[in-house]
Structure 1
Amino acid sequence: MIDTGSDATAVHVPNAQPVGNYDDGATTNIELAGIDSDHEYFVEQGILLFTDGTLVRGYAMELAIAHPSTLDTALPSIIGRPLINRWRMRYDPWGSHLEVIAKDPDISFRGSVEDIPRQF
């Protein structure tokens, strides 16, 4: 979900499940205010990949990864301003249309996201 009012890009359950276990205390914790209440997150450096089927664009950034026990599992992950500010958006409220064009990646290449190893 795109949130133009969010100061962070947040990865929520179930998207956070493949990230791993952070119970060892080695990560930084932050609290972010949400619509219904505040929630705790781990802060990690990560790379988000997006593809249009031909070109893969990667963005290295700080991610807020939800503590699995603190959020409703139905909440979508949020793409916030740190990433949105690098993209172009066109919004037509009368036509119920939002178009996002990924721009200014840190890395880009021709290929498929499926070709990228899941663990480094």
Structure 2
Amino acid sequence: MRINLTSVFVDDQANALRFYTEVLGFVKKHDVPLGADRWLTVVSAEQPDGTELLLEPDGHPAVGPYKRALVGDGIPAASFAVDDMAAEFERLRALGVRFTQEPVEMGPVTVAVLDDTCGNLIQLTQQR
């Protein structure tokens, strides 16, 4: 068994696609129209056949309060691995990404948290 698909709820799929591809560096995998929304997934450029991230519309009534509660408590909606936290932090900051937590060493891992501009906090991690 393996993880095939996971998702983050986004308030604007077009903005999310731009942020996750042009800023974070993911690659669009699927973009299928579904009425007013899309089945829109991205994958790691390093693992094009790996786990897909669904940029899922946040229209369900339960999603807004859920997302606000997570952000209010500083809880990331997803976590992505990076090989070089210092370099990735500087690259993203130069692109205007807002970090709610700059890189911090926590035992065997360094973590940082960013705002994805779509209503979510995203954690970056580097294993040492």
TM-score (norm: length of structure 1): 0.28
More helix by share: 2
For the pair shown, which has the larger CA radius of gyration, 1 or 2?
1
